[in-house]
Every structure is written in C-alpha cells, then in structure tokens.
Homo-oligomer: A and B are copies of this chain.
Amino acid sequence: MAGPRRYKLLCPISRALDHIGDRWALLILRDLHAGPARFSELQTGLAGIAPNLLTERLQQLTADGLVEKRQADHGVTLYALTDLGRRSRDMLFELAMFGGRFPPDEDIRRPGNLRTIAVTLSSACQRVAPRYSNLVAQIEVDGEAFTLSVDNGSVEMLYATATSPDVTMRTSYEPMIAAAEGELPMNEFVERHVELIAHTPRKDAELMQLLGDAMQLFDTET
C-alpha cells in the first residue's frame, strides 16, 4: 500500500488539501507571496523546517504548478509563485482572518524573517484599497524592508526595498503586532513606535489610514 496520503475525493476542498494540505506547504506559499526567494531564505523564514522537507515540498508544489524554479544571476536559484500559485492569496487571507480569532500560544517563536507577514498585510490592504489612491511605500520593520504598492486598487507587498517611494515608514515588530492584535491602540502605536517620512505630500497620512483600515479587519468584535 504505497502512495502519499491523499483524500482522493471530488470535493474541491479536499482537492485543495490534496495539493497544499501537507505540513509547511501553505507556509511556503505564504512566504513566496512576498516575492521570489532562495532556498535558504525560505528555510530561515520557516524557522526550523528540515531541509529535506523543504526540498520535498518545493518539488511537490512545482509539480502541481504552484511554484517555479528560476535561475538568476551568479548561479543563484530562486523559487517563485506561478500565476496559479498567486491565486492562493484570497485563501491565505481567509485563513489569516480565521487564525486571528485564536489566542496566540504561550510559547511563541519569532519567525526567522518577516516574509511571513507580507501576504497577510497585503491581502488585508487589498480589501480596503478601493478607498485609496495610488501609493508606493517603503515599510521597514526592524531593518527588514518591504515595498507596499497600491496601483489602481490592486495591492502588492514585496520583501524588497523600494526605488522611489512616496513615503517611508519605520517601526519594529512587537509593537506592530500588538497593534494588529488590538492590544495597543492604533494612535498610540503610531505616535510612539512609528517613524514616518513623506517624500510626497500627505502620503504619510494616507498610508497610516490604509494600514489602520486593514488592521481593523482583524478585530474579532463581530
């Protein structure tokens, strides 16, 4: 009796799980939403995944058409989402909305890098983006830089520095999480833990409103 553990049912939910239900698979997709990544970047971001498992998962995801392997300069190999892989975004967002309802475990490990938070943030921003105009922001969290771009209602957040951002924002991980969890009031977070530099007038306020609206989606009041 060989073969991997698959449900082999017609139901689209079990079909999804047959492709991304294995351990780590969804978290690999999650981190790749922050942009193409090296093997080692994924490994550190996933905080302790065994390298053989990462290899195995990447192969499976590639075979399923969700991920592709690219050769970049200097012999560097990059893993990137395919179009199909990018379609997992809404699903990951709903997963995040659901997971946010559970209290965090007592003994939490900090992720090896902050790629992990990019999809959650960008897909949350996506939901509220129609109310905002275009914008390119560089967000630095404890020295790790993201580029958040809002372009005609479509939002993307990459794990990279921006070339000519409208606004630069600097903060650190713990207070940002505390604000997202609702433990720290938004205005206090902004005043005490955020440094903002607007290179385009008013874009700083716009960015903060966007992020505030996005974080509100995770309020578990209703």
- State the A residues within 8 Å of B (CB): 5-21, 23, 26-27, 30, 47, 64, 84, 87-88, 90-102, 104-105, 107-111, 116-117, 119-120, 177, 218
Contacts and interface: CB of A to CB of B under 8 A. Distances in A.
A27 B13 CA distance: 8
A99 B8 contact: no
Contacts of A98: 12, 16, 20, 87-88, 90-91
Contacts of A110: 10
B10 A177 contact: yes
A16 B105 contact: no
B101 A97 contact: no
A100 B16 CA distance: 7
Given A94-B94, A98-B88, A101-B84, A108 B13 contact: no
Contacts of A47: 7, 9
Given A5-B23, A87-B101, A108-B8, A95 B18 contact: no
B8 A105 contact: yes
A100 B15 contact: yes
